[in-house]
Structure 1
């Protein structure tokens, strides 16, 4: 599936922790699922001493047929200084611009989507942008 999350400006707790709230309007769409991201949802982004970013994301998908699915994932981001500067200046990065990988898991009581409870997925950033039109978009795949 593809997951698209519009983002608020980050809350900068200190130099090592940024918190991004997901704005309304987020969505997911794939062959077996379609829905909207619900609030609250957010990303606790840690800046490691090496410059690598570590993700801690949590949110809820409400499917078009009314079912709720909790999604959480960690991940790693590593960009060059030039790519980070471009992103921080309001530019957009695409999939091949930097290493940006996630590992989503899902939880639901829905009979229709119970198969997701056993899925370990991987996600790859498709696009990310800060500033005006801030968002992150991933393609997410079940690992088999």
Structure 2
């Protein structure tokens, strides 16, 4: 059941209250919990060329596997990275692809993030699924570190532990 408009407005009005900060202590950062390691194969890159946002390249995602403590399965041959190379030569990932768990749940995934000085790409990861078992993925904050190889990439992914208390199934 969706909340009513008055209850949404009442909740938003709380955001307008003045906040009193009484401590100068550094807050404790949330911890990360391992989600999975993923290896996927890539097709031949398609150079789209220089456009209004940079030099775009499309890299097909053609398959692979992922494995972690709460979900494992395969990467389907459905998706690509539509990354951009900026004026400084930095590549930023912009992916959309499909995971299928070992118990046949489908999970749509989007990632984005820039290449770092060490060559890894730091990713923001968003999940979308209708599976009751994996629905908790829709509400987590997840990050990943991508390592590129020749014709493949490896991604190690984690989620913020602080989100666990508010999300069923985690």
The two structures have a TM-score, normalised by structure 2, of: 0.68
Aligned residue for 1:84? Answer: none
Q: How many residues align?
A: 122
SS state of the match for residue 59, structure 2? strand
Long gaps (5+) in structure 1 = 80-96
Q: Aligned runs of 1:26-37 on 2, under 5 Å?
A: 26-37=64-75
- Please tell me whether residue 11 in structure 1 is matched to residue 46 in structure 2: yes
Aligned residue for 2:60? Answer: 21
* 1:73–1:104 CA contact under 8 A, matched in 2: yes
Give the number of the structure with larger relative contact order, counting CA–CA contacts within 8 Å between residues 6 or more apart: 1
SS state of the match for residue 138, structure 2? helix
- Counterpart selection for 1:129 from 129, 135, 149: 149
CA distance in 1, matches of 2:100, 2:120: 29
Q: Aligned runs of 1:46-65 on 2, under 5 Å?
A: 46-65=84-103
* 2:48–2:57 CA contact under 8 A, matched in 1: yes
RMSD: 1.3
The two structures have a TM-score, normalised by structure 1, of: 0.79
Structure showing the higher strand proportion among its residues: 1
Structure 1 residue ranges (4+ consecutive) displaced by more than 2 angstroms after TM superposition: none
CA distance in 2, matches of 1:8, 1:50: 25
SS state of the match for residue 39, structure 1? strand
Aligned residue for 2:168? Answer: none
- Counterpart selection for 1:140 from 157, 163, 167: 157
